[in-house]
């Protein structure tokens, strides 16, 4: 079948295209001319694509068009032409849902933590020897720099998105729920609205399905308990599996500490101990979530005796080898004694937990942050929470808000508003409208032993790249 993908460079669409290409489908597509990490993946696979959108690219030989939610048949000429020719159109999330219906599928969901949990799950599934396919929301170093991993065709594990209830197209046998908090205020006006969406997603679990949830997150716990009540009322069996520091059962995190550049902890299921090289208590939680999911799949595939000594050791080794995913505490370089890092965290809870983990992991380093908030509605709704989330940073640089195509700024809260809020709570906070305008001051500020991290869903990562470029020539001369 000939499938055409509009927005093929997007992480999700590219990942699904890769999976379908691996099954023998003929894939082609289009996107803008900007260069993304997915360009290299598409070229390596030999998937052709246009770097423009034109009705001329669409022909009657195409059987299905899959398109990113960033595009619309009302405004995109290729989608309009496909509609005119009667070619079926599938939004990416609907196509992912149809794909998931072909497997024993597990969806990983939550306001934050889902990408790392999906990446960890794939890493551990490979160690456990399970016949599965994994789709994460970012490139994973352990996946060969891609966001997919194909190890077999029985199980499918995918990151599933809550925005506009996109995850309701997915067909889960299991759901991992990392967190439920107020977010996407342009669509969910309050916490109750987003909580109900997650509850609706949990309601898609069949009788005998499993909901793996973070017992440390009040929203996830609330949804899990409400889902069990709803299942009982409907006469469905639903298995709840908690994980985390406050969980009861085999996935309770115990004996947590940091030593020798590793996070160390135990679970009742793994009393011999587990090790991670990526910082933060939230990473221990994500690892426990992934282990709970993998344990469920091990039982499904191998029975109750599936955790053999060899499999346990392979999974423990895989966990310690895990090096994270793109834009999740990603070390982009180290030069002049300075670690340069980039992180996608754009919610106050993610900011706070990431910086806390870095402080714990690098107690001797100054932590210097550039943060670019994403969407006016999120910033306005969570302004106080954002302002309080930088307590573990030594120096903070703030910038304009990175707007979204789905909203229009109408006045009110902006980047300087957040700066004033943060400034009222602490010192060593600075503001530049454009991120790269902070480069000169940062060049004077950074010194050996520092950790500089760009954070947010905006494009301030370019600032980190620019600064690293200034130090690399000096390193080359040494």
Give the pLDDT confidence score for residue 377 in this predicted structure: 83
Judgement on whether residues 262 and 366 belong to the same structural domain of the protein: no
Judgement on whether residues 303 and 386 belong to the same structural domain of the protein: no
Contacts 24+ apart (CB under 8 A), 38-42: 38/8, 38/9, 38/10, 38/11, 38/14, 39/9, 40/145, 41/14, 41/145, 41/146, 42/8, 42/9, 42/14, 42/17
Domain boundary among 92, 110, 126: 92
Say which CATH number the domain at 388 has. 3.90.190.20
For 65, the domain range is 2-92
- Kindly report the number of other CB atoms within 10 A of residue 374's CB atom: 17
Domain boundary among 301, 321, 341: 321
Say which CATH number the domain at 301 has. 3.40.1190.10
Judgement on whether residues 352 and 228 belong to the same structural domain of the protein: no
Give the pLDDT confidence score for residue 412 in this predicted structure: 82
Say which CATH number the domain at 62 has. 3.40.50.720
Give the pLDDT confidence score for residue 330 in this predicted structure: 82
Domain boundary among 69, 92, 115: 92
- Kindly report the number of other CB atoms within 10 A of residue 52's CB atom: 12
Judgement on whether residues 341 and 390 belong to the same structural domain of the protein: yes
Judgement on whether residues 248 and 286 belong to the same structural domain of the protein: yes
Give the pLDDT confidence score for residue 162 in this predicted structure: 87
Quote the CA–CA distance of 207 and 212 in Å, as a whole number: 15
Judgement on whether residues 126 and 214 belong to the same structural domain of the protein: yes
Judgement on whether residues 264 and 123 belong to the same structural domain of the protein: yes
Residues 6+ apart with CB under 8 A from 101: 171
- Kindly report the number of other CB atoms within 10 A of residue 474's CB atom: 10
Quote the CA–CA distance of 3 and 332 in Å, as a whole number: 35
Judgement on whether residues 84 and 109 belong to the same structural domain of the protein: no
Q: Could you read off the pLDDT of 317-343 as tens digits, one per residue? A: 999 989 876 666 788 888 888 989 898
Q: What total of structural domains would you count in the chain?
A: 3
Judgement on whether residues 178 and 269 belong to the same structural domain of the protein: yes
Strands, E assignment, 225-381: 238-243, 254-259, 262-267, 270-276, 330-335, 338-343, 367-371
Judgement on whether residues 172 and 302 belong to the same structural domain of the protein: yes
- CA neighbours within 13 Å on the CB side: how many for 172? 29
What does each of the 478 residues of the chain score in pLDDT, given as a tens digit?
699 999 999 888 999 999 999 899 999 999 998 888 889 899 989 999 999 999 999 999 999 999 998 899 999 999 999 999 999 999 999 999 999 999 999 999 999 888 899 999 999 999 999 999 999 988 788 888 888 999 999 999 999 988 888 999 999 999 999 999 887 777 788 999 999 999 999 999 999 999 999 999 999 999 999 999 999 999 999 999 999 999 999 999 999 998 888 899 999 999 999 999 888 888 999 999 999 999 999 999 999 899 999 999 999 999 998 987 666 678 888 888 898 989 877 788 888 888 988 898 888 899 999 999 888 888 888 888 889 989 999 999 999 998 766 666 677 888 899 999 999 999 999 999 999 999 999 999 999 999 999 988 888 889 988 888 877 544 433 3
- CA neighbours within 13 Å on the CB side: how many for 427? 0
Produce one character per residue of 189-219: b if its CB has 16 or more CB atoms within 10 Å, e if not.
Answer: eeeeebbebbbebbebbeeebbbbbbbbbeb
Judgement on whether residues 255 and 353 belong to the same structural domain of the protein: no
Q: What angle do CA 269, 209, 272 make, to 5 degrees?
A: 5
Residues 6+ apart with CB under 8 A from 79: 6, 65, 67, 71, 72, 73, 89
Judgement on whether residues 268 and 357 belong to the same structural domain of the protein: no
Give the pLDDT confidence score for residue 475 in this predicted structure: 40
Measured between alpha carbons, how far is residue 121 from residues 288, 328, 342 in Å? 10, 15, 22
- Kindly report the number of other CB atoms within 10 A of residue 271's CB atom: 10
Query: 3-state DSSP call for residue 329?
Result: coil
Residues 110 and 220: beta-carbon distance below 8 Å = yes
């Amino acid at each position: 079948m000939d499938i055409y993908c509009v927005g093929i460079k997007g992480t999700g669409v590219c990942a699904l295209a890769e999976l379908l290409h691996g099954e023998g489908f003929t894939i082609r597509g289009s996107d803008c001319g900007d260069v993304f990490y997915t360009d290299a993946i598409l070229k390596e696979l030999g998937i052709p694509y246009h770097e423009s959108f034109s009705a001329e690219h669409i022909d009657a030989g195409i059987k299905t068009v899959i398109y990113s939610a960033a595009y619309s048949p009302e405004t995109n000429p290729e989608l309009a032409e496909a509609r005119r020719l009667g070619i079926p159109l599938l939004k990416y999330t609907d196509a992912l849902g149809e794909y998931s219906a072909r497997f024993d599928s597990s969806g990983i969901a939550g306001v934050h933590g889902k990408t790392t949990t999906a990446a960890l799950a794939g890493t551990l599934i490979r160690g456990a020897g399970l016949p599965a396919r994994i789709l994460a929301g970012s490139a994973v170093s352990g996946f060969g720099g891609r966001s997919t991993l194909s190890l077999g065709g029985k199980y499918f594990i995918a990151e599933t998105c809550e925005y506009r209830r996109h995850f309701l197209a997915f067909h889960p046998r299991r759901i991992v729920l990392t967190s439920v908090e107020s977010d996407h205020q342009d669509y969910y006006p309050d916490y109750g609205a987003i909580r109900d969406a997650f509850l609706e997603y949990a309601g898609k679990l069949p009788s005998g399905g499993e909901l793996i949830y973070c017992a440390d997150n009040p929203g996830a716990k609330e949804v899990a308990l409400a889902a069990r009540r709803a299942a009982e009322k409907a006469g469905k069996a639903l298995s709840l599996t908690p994980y985390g520091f406050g969980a009861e059962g085999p996935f309770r995190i115990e004996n947590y500490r940091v030593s020798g550049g590793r996070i160390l902890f135990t679970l009742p299921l793994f009393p011999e101990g587990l090790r991670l090289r990526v910082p933060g208590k939230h990473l221990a939680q994500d690892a426990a979530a992934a282990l709970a999911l993998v344990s469920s799949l091990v039982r499904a595939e191998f029975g109750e005796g599936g955790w053999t000594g060899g499999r346990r050791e392979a999974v423990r080794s895989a966990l310690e080898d895990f090096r994270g995913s793109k834009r999740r505490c990603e070390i982009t370089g180290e030069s002049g004694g300075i670690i340069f890092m980039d992180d996608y965290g754009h919610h106050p809870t993610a900011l706070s937990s990431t910086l806390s983990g870095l402080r714990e992991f690098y107690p001797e380093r100054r932590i210097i942050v550039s943060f670019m908030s994403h969407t006016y509605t999120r910033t306005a709704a969570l302004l106080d929470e954002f302002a309080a989330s930088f307590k573990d940073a030594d120096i903070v640089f703030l910038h304009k808000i990175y707007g979204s195509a789905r909203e229009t700024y109408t006045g009110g809260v902006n980047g300087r508003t957040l700066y004033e809020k943060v400034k009222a709570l602490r010192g060593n906070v600075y503001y530049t409208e454009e991120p790269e305008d902070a480069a000169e001051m940062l060049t004077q500020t950074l010194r050996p032993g520092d950790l500089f991290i760009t954070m947010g869903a905006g494009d301030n990562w370019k600032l980190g790249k620019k600064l690293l470029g200034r130090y690399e020539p000096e390193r080359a001369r040494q």
